[in-house]
Structure 1
């Protein structure tokens, strides 16, 4: 019993495969973002509204990435 898939990664039974081109692209971009984040380890000063905080740059970058991912997930879910 062979499983046939279309070009878009959809199997004959209507379900998508595990590794679609979109998922692979997201995984590659996420890996590159994490490499970039953890390569930047120097201390930096960040001003959040009023206080000025000194923290590692990777923490600020990771926090920004998480906030961006949450906003993106919210708006994609809302579009449906």
Structure 2
């Protein structure tokens, strides 16, 4: 007799030293992002459609990083449904 799987088997999760590799990857990306932000401390002019703002480059990069993270989080929620 053949056993039929109901598709509920969970995939194996990989770990390094008891820490899931997903968390290690996220940690590496966060460390690289912080390093990149603080390597760019010069002031720059940021032009929007109507006005221009002068601010440190790391603030613009941090705002872009946060906006991307929020968009990724929102889109992840839609894909899971």
Structure whose CA Rg is larger: 2
Normalising by the smaller structure, the TM-score range is 0.7 to 0.9
Q: How large is the RMSD of aligned CA atoms in angstroms?
A: 2.0
- Equivalent residues, number: 68
Gaps of 5+ in 2: 1-10
| Structure 1 residue matching 2:19: 3-state secondary structure | coil
Gaps of 5+ in 1: 1-5, 11-17
Q: For 1:5-54, what per-residue CA distance to the aligned partner results, in whole angstroms no more than 9, with x for missing partners? A: x95148xxxxxxx7211111011011101110011100001012211111
User: What is the TM-score normalised by the length of structure 1?
Assistant: 0.76
**Aligned equivalents of 1:65 and 1:19: distance in 2?**
25
User: What is the TM-score normalised by the length of structure 2?
Assistant: 0.75
